Chain A
Amino acid sequence: MPAPAQHRIIFQHIDEPGYSNDIDCYLRNGGYEVLKKAVTQKPEDLREEVKKSGLRGRGGAGFPCGFKWSLVDRKSGKPIYLIVNADESEPGTFKDRYIMHQDPHQLIEGTMISCFANDVKQAYIYIRGEMPEGARILEKAIAEARAKNLVGPNILGTGYSCEIFVHRGAGAYICGEETGLIESLEGKRANPRIKPPYFPAVLGLYQCPTIVNNVETLCHVKYIVQHGGAEYAKIGTPGNTGTRIFCVSGHVQRPGYYEFPAGTITMGQLLNDVCGGPLPGRTFKAVIPGGSSAKVLRFGERYKGKRKVGTDMVDYDWGVEDVPMDFDSLAMIGSMGGSGGVIVMDDSVNMVEALANINAFYQHESCGQCTPCREGSLWMKKISSRMVHGEARKEDAALLKSVADQIPGRTICAFGEACSWPTQSFLIKFKDEFEGYAEAKKNLPADRLSLV
């Protein structure tokens, strides 16, 4: 089956010739009409639309947005904050970058609508430090919106006031984790907080109720308020509504970003039809489907079980190519849709070396609070790097796996899972390659690309 056509709702204007990131261009294209409509509605009605839409967060966890908003403590009398998570730091993910650089007003409109819907008076956009240009573009865009009375005091004469400020990170991945982000915004080290009790919806920024949403999620909110939750829910599949942006990188002919109705395209269609297949003379070996923390899939393996289609339970028997690219299907086969970052590796890649690259990332980024994560990520890096650069032993395979197995479930934040899943899944799916690496290494081409 050929791939369906792209359906760009969030990336509608990305790379469009003549489309610029200033407010005049945005207004010419119908910009801020949705905000104007939204501020005449009741906040609770807007929240209801978001609930009806079935929107799931695009930052990684796929948490239902309407439900998240319903958890916000609205009775405490404390101010409610909204933080836009623009940290975009999960390796393999590159979608928020283009929204912020090319269509910043879409994000600002989505943010203002979400603030109004949640009685928020102060929002912060937490953008990663390595995007200085993005931060400047957003600051300029906010100033433009403020000048047109779309941000700031007494918005459009409604009596509703809300400010947005841009806050820059400084190169730490853990700031993407929402409670680490909050600590960072408070001017501290980004050490994630323990939950319970520190659920942002109740005890977030300055111990006040706080909503943290991903950049893309807030753009979907704008679309939902424009078209209605029920209309939005018609895009995609039940439980996986709306579109998904896939960021494809690594060994394909046409890497890039592609937006499709969720669940309507399979991995095979995405990689072969949309991205042009493997590089000349190569075959696909492995793919990480949802950012580097997601468990790796091996081409050639089969996934079998029963799944719900409508009201029926049907058997499925899939190869990697057959898996629909939605949150639930990817979870069903033991991985995750995560942030939409699809990293492809072909048969030129040695999996020990690829894992050593990933492990170096997690070791560098662990915040260091929890012993299993701090020590575990360090040892996984040390062992896998030693295998590549020094002596490799057969028993290193089991050793790596045992270190990884001791981390998840024993840490303050989900980084513990994120750093152990690559090692666990690589070791399960490519066990032979790890056990045989010492021998294989002698015959690997000396001029192959270094990965670590």
Chain B
Amino acid sequence: MSTTTSSPSVNLKPETLARIDEVITHYPVKRSATLPLLHLIQEDAGYISEDAILWIAQKLELQPINVLEVVTFYPMFRRAPIGRRHIKVCRTLSCALLGGYKTCENFQKEFNTTLGATSPDGEVTVDFVECLASCGTAPVVLIDETLHEKVDAAKVKQISAQIRAEAAARK
């Protein structure tokens, strides 16, 4: 990654900037705010750009590599934009025993996409994730911030229809 001398450009909402300044005060050592800042920026901008990494490094008085190595370690941070909705299907054993793989396949079919890719209409990205700590209501799916439980074939259809309806309403 290149280190530029000009200040990196991130276009963050004022609320995000305010929350960033507040969250830094939670820790006696600024570096601890790395994960919170990455979350706040990803929620605002959709992904972590190179400039975002440089910006966080400046803000927390770190080297850019200190931020980059964190971004690449944690699965939730992404370096590129994804679909408008993020469908994360649990892949782990208890969900798989009750059809998690089928659920994941069904979502891919519904949106004409493949695992890890964004649907042609830009609406969704379907991913597998590991155990979501809701194994008793398997198979489970986390869509953006909402957990869906016992997602069988019928429920995939119903959820997909709703996502499409919401997308149509936006247009």
Task: Give residues in A with beta carbon < 8 Å to B.
Answer: 88-94, 96-97, 128-133, 165, 167-173, 184-190, 206, 247-251, 255-257, 292, 341, 343, 345, 349, 354, 357-358, 360-361, 364-365, 367, 449-452
B96 interfacial by beta-carbon distance below 8 Å = yes
Q: A169-B35, A249-B135 are in contact. Are A190 and B73 (CB under 8 A)?
A: yes
Give the residues in chain B near A365, CB-CB below 8 Å: 130
B102 interfacial by beta-carbon distance below 8 Å = yes
B28 interfacial by beta-carbon distance below 8 Å = yes
Bound Cα distance A169, B34 (Å): 11
Give the residues in chain A near B131, CB-CB below 8 Å: 89-92, 173, 292, 361
Point out the residue from B33, B97, B136 that lies within 8 Å of A94, measured CB to CB.
Answer: B136
B148 interfacial by beta-carbon distance below 8 Å = no
Give the residues in chain A near B134, CB-CB below 8 Å: 94, 97
Bound Cα distance A187, B145 (Å): 23
| In contact, A187 and B136 (Cβ under 8 angstroms) | no
Point out the residue from A133, A249, A451 that lies within 8 Å of B101, measured CB to CB.
Answer: A451
| In contact, B136 and A172 (Cβ under 8 angstroms) | no
| In contact, A92 and B93 (Cβ under 8 angstroms) | yes
For the complex of A and B, the 10 pairs showing the least CB-CB separation, nearest first, are A187-B34, A170-B74, A249-B135, A249-B94, A171-B76, A171-B75, A187-B31, A450-B101, A170-B76, A91-B131
| In contact, A91 and B135 (Cβ under 8 angstroms) | yes
| In contact, B101 and A292 (Cβ under 8 angstroms) | no
| In contact, A91 and B93 (Cβ under 8 angstroms) | yes
Chain B: CB-nearest residue to A358: B93
| In contact, A168 and B101 (Cβ under 8 angstroms) | no
| In contact, A93 and B101 (Cβ under 8 angstroms) | no
Q: A93-B133, A97-B133, A189-B73 are in contact. Are A451 and B97 (CB under 8 A)?
A: yes
Give the residues in chain A near B142, CB-CB below 8 Å: 130
| In contact, B29 and A170 (Cβ under 8 angstroms) | no
Q: A94-B135, A173-B130 are in contact. Are A189 and B93 (CB under 8 A)?
A: no
B117 interfacial by beta-carbon distance below 8 Å = no
Chain A: CB-nearest residue to B67: A187
| In contact, A256 and B136 (Cβ under 8 angstroms) | yes
CB-defined interface of B135-171 with A at 8 Å, one 1/0 digit per residue?
A: 1111000100111000000000000000000000000
Give the residues in chain B near A206, CB-CB below 8 Å: 28-29
Give the residues in chain B near A358, CB-CB below 8 Å: 93
| In contact, B133 and A167 (Cβ under 8 angstroms) | no
B99 interfacial by beta-carbon distance below 8 Å = yes
Say how far A139's CB is from chain B's closest CB, in angstroms.
11
Say how far A339's CB is from chain B's closest CB, in angstroms.
10
Pick from A168, A170, A364 the residue with the most CB of B within 10 Å.
A170
| In contact, A249 and B91 (Cβ under 8 angstroms) | no
Q: A248-B136, A292-B93 are in contact. Are A184 and B35 (CB under 8 A)?
A: yes
B16 interfacial by beta-carbon distance below 8 Å = no
| In contact, A255 and B138 (Cβ under 8 angstroms) | yes
| In contact, B35 and A168 (Cβ under 8 angstroms) | yes
Give the residues in chain B near A167, CB-CB below 8 Å: 26, 32, 35-36
| In contact, A257 and B136 (Cβ under 8 angstroms) | yes
Bound Cα distance A185, B97 (Å): 34
B60 interfacial by beta-carbon distance below 8 Å = yes
Give the residues in chain B near A94, CB-CB below 8 Å: 133-136
Bound Cα distance A165, B36 (Å): 12
Pick from A93, A172, A249, A365 the residue with the most CB of B within 10 Å.
A249
| In contact, A349 and B97 (Cβ under 8 angstroms) | yes
B84 interfacial by beta-carbon distance below 8 Å = no
Pick from B31, B73, B133, B138 the residue with the most CB of A within 10 Å.
B133
Bound Cα distance A318, B74 (Å): 43
| In contact, B133 and A172 (Cβ under 8 angstroms) | no
Say how far B83's CB is from chain A's closest CB, in angstroms.
18
Bound Cα distance A343, B94 (Å): 7
Q: A91-B135, A349-B97 are in contact. Are A364 and B130 (CB under 8 A)?
A: yes
B95-144 at interface with A (beta carbon < 8 Å): 96-99, 101-102, 129-138, 142
B15 interfacial by beta-carbon distance below 8 Å = no
Point out the residue from B26, B91, B93, B132 that lies within 8 Å of A165, measured CB to CB.
Answer: B26
Bound Cα distance A256, B147 (Å): 16
Q: A129-B39, A130-B142 are in contact. Are A187 and B33 (CB under 8 A)?
A: yes
Chain A: CB-nearest residue to B38: A170
Bound Cα distance A341, B95 (Å): 13
| In contact, A357 and B133 (Cβ under 8 angstroms) | no
Bound Cα distance A185, B132 (Å): 21
Bound Cα distance A90, B93 (Å): 11
Give the residues in chain A near B101, CB-CB below 8 Å: 449-451
Chain A: CB-nearest residue to B32: A187
Bound Cα distance A170, B132 (Å): 12
Chain A: CB-nearest residue to B140: A94
Chain B: CB-nearest residue to A163: B26
Bound Cα distance A349, B99 (Å): 12
Bound Cα distance A206, B28 (Å): 9
| In contact, B135 and A343 (Cβ under 8 angstroms) | yes
Point out the residue from A168, A171, A186, A251 that lies within 8 Å of B36, measured CB to CB.
Answer: A168
Give the residues in chain B near A186, CB-CB below 8 Å: 29, 31-32
| 23 A-B contacts (beta carbon < 8 Å) | A91-B131, A91-B135, A94-B135, A133-B146, A133-B147, A165-B26, A169-B74, A170-B39, A184-B35, A186-B31, A186-B32, A187-B60, A188-B34, A190-B73, A190-B74, A249-B135, A249-B138, A250-B94, A250-B138, A255-B136, A358-B93, A361-B91, A365-B130
Say how far A253's CB is from chain B's closest CB, in angstroms.
12
Chain A: CB-nearest residue to B26: A165
Chain A: CB-nearest residue to B60: A187
Bound Cα distance A221, B145 (Å): 31
